[in-house]
Amino acid sequence: MLSINNLHVAVDDKAILKGVDLTVKAGEVHAIMGPNGSGKSTLCHVLAGRPGYQVTQGGVDYQGADLLALEPEIRAREGLFLAFQYPVEIPGISNLYFLKAAINARRKHEGKGPMPAVAFLRMVREKAACVELDEGLLNRSLNVGFSGGEKKRNEIFQMLVLEPTLALLDETDSGLDIDALRVVAEGVNKLRSEGRAILLVTHYQRLLDYIVPDYVHVLAGGRIVRSGDKDLAHKLEAEGYGWIENEAST
């Protein structure tokens, strides 16, 4: 589904990613861990198409298409979803209205008409209940006045509504208390299916107690320096990143 080949990315001429290789197949959950500043968020943003990043080498294939050549909104309509580390606030647009615009943009892309209002409302209520999102938040302006935990729940809620093919979660666990973490993890687990892939970026092993990944990768110094299964995450939790960085530099 996703194939990242020798990806080099710079921001303001400073190299951040220095040759990332990663293949993600449908049905898999991959976790990307790594120390601060290793390029984890950069990887998510480049895949989603955020402006301000220069791809200097390499490429990304997504379902047979050159992902990096697509506009961000086209990537989204093709099923790529990014749960933001810092979701933005948009005053004046209700959560519900925003989601409807998003769903209908995707349906239009697929050659379908707008979703009927009744079906939309029913579906939205159901998904909101999944992540224990207060229904009152649906009619509030997007993320405006939401607590940190509500914003993250709202991201997972949007993900469930939009049913992405490839979901990228950028440190969705950061700043969450243990209850919120469980709710978010349940949301992600609901999404797990044969046709979908999930890429989790996280600092801590904690999230992986709830969402058990098929693969764990360590991103350090702009490269994936080690890959393994969930045991690698436990080892990182116990021993830190130092030993890997040492191995990588020798």
Binding span for other proteins by CB under 8 A among 3-11, 45-53, 115-123, 197-205: 45-53
Q: Does 10 bind other proteins (CB under 8 A)?
A: no
What CA–CA distance (Å, rounded) separates 87 from 106? 20
Residue 112 lies near other proteins (rule: CB under 8 A):
no
Q: Is 187 in the site for other proteins (CB under 8 A)?
A: no
66 binds other proteins (CB under 8 A): no
Q: Which of 141, 165, 174, 227 binds other proteins (CB under 8 A)?
A: 141
Q: From the list 10, 115, 162, 248, which residue makes contact with other proteins (rule: CB under 8 A)?
A: 162
User: The dihedral of CA 232, 237, 239, 243: what is its sign?
Assistant: positive
Report the nearest approach of other proteins to the CB of residue 88 (Å). 5
Cα–Cα distance between 152 and 147 in angstroms, integer?
9
CA distances from 231 to 134, 212, 217, 220, 239 (A): 36, 10, 11, 18, 12
Q: Does the protein bind other proteins through residue 101 (CB under 8 A)?
A: yes
Among 54, 97, 210, 227, binds other proteins (CB under 8 A): 97
Residue 98 binding other proteins, by CB under 8 A: yes
Q: Is position 39 an interface residue for other proteins (rule: CB under 8 A)?
A: no
Q: Which residues contact 246 (CB under 8 A, 6 or more apart)?
A: none
Closest CA to 70 of 103, 34, 109: 109
